[in-house]
Amino acid sequence: MTGYTYVKPESISLKRRSEFSEKWVQERIAEDPKILGLGDLILRDVERIQPGAGRLDLLLQDADANLRYELELQLGPTDESHIIRTIEYWDIERKRYPQYDHVAVIVAEDITSRFLNVISLFNGVIPLVAIQMNAVAVGEFVTLVFSKVLDQRTVGILEEEEEEEVTDRAYWEQRGTPATVKMADELLRIINETLDETLALKYNKFYIGMARDGEPQNFAIFRAQKQALRLDVRLARDEATETRLEEVGLDLMEYSARTGRYRIRLRKGDIEKHREVLTGLLQEAYAAFMA
């Protein structure tokens, strides 16, 4: 015996219960966005005004990535108006903030087959997630269970190499700091000394890449932030690599399956402290890129 007593749960319809509302669900998600099952999310805004188009229920952002979720709630089954509204808000936000990747999210109690059929017509062009929400009562307590039934987050988002709007060093020193941009200089020095002396930094709007005679050579890219430099290294995912990075104390943020890159947050002193490991990592990425 585990010491637990089995209690039969009761599924309830929020739409049919007057004590619940979309506002109530919105508040529960805002309190803890992680309950959606989309990862470590941060609340950016609630009831965000969309010029000429109403209000976006929730704007969420991935804690460790340039990824935002435009989320619309609906009690009961999905309908055409909510589908249109979800896509419209996603489109507005991605145009207003192109420095982020954006995903449209619709949360409803019933994700209907008709909804799924309509979404299939978009043929993967719009990155969209559909989440079915179930309310469950156990005695006097109510909880919400979220189940992802459609996930097109990886479709239709541009790779870094396609985002070729060129900026300059001053842009990144303002977006990050002069000190964090200098960390990119340090890594470039390692690359020039150990791999290829012809490579130089190339300042694009969404990342600092590398180029040879103006041509992208992005086996590694950089994003200067206020307190750190993010290093993204293109490599196949490997458990031994992850273990090595974690054992030496590097801040391994995640592996992005979308771009095939490890994301590492480097703070002041990290490059010198972990020079040997970082050099080896860059060498592996360069060899794979050139193969």
Confidence of residue 161 (pLDDT cuts 50, 70, 90): very low
Residues 6+ apart with CB under 8 A from 20: 14, 75, 135
Lowest mean pLDDT among 60-64, 119-123, 158-162, 239-243: 158-162
For the chain, how many helices (H) and strands (E)? 8, 14
More confident residue, 216 or 159: 216
| Distance separating alpha carbons of residues 128 and 113, to the nearest angstrom | 16
pLDDT of residue 214: 85
CB burial of residue 236 (10 Å; 0-12, 13-18, 19+): exposed
pLDDT tens string 75-97: 988 887 888 888 899 999 988 88
Q: Are the beta carbons of 136 and 12 closer than 8 angstroms?
A: yes
* Per-residue pLDDT at 158: 43
Q: Is the pLDDT of residue 2 over 80?
A: no
Percent over 90 (pLDDT), the chain: 48
Third-level CATH fold of 10-151: Trna Endonuclease; Chain: A, domain 1 (3.40.1350)
pLDDT class of 156 with cuts at 50, 70, 90: very low
In CATH terms, the fold of domain 161-290 is Aspartate Aminotransferase, domain 1 (3.90.1150)
In this prediction, residue 11 carries a pLDDT of 87
**Greater model confidence, 150 or 247:** 247
Q: What is d(CA 14, CA 175) in angstroms, rounded to the nearest whole number?
A: 44
pLDDT, position 64: 65
CB 87 within 8 A of CB 104: yes
List CB contacts of 52: < 8 A, sequence separation 6 or more: none
pLDDT for residue 251: 93
pLDDT of residue 155: 39
Nearest Cα neighbor of 156 from 94, 63, 80, 82 is 94
Give the pLDDT score at 180: 96
Assign 28 a pLDDT band (cuts: 50, 70, 90).
very high
> What value does the mean pLDDT take over residues 236-250?
91
Domains of the chain, by residue range, sit at: 10-151, 161-290
Confidence of residue 19 (pLDDT cuts 50, 70, 90): confident
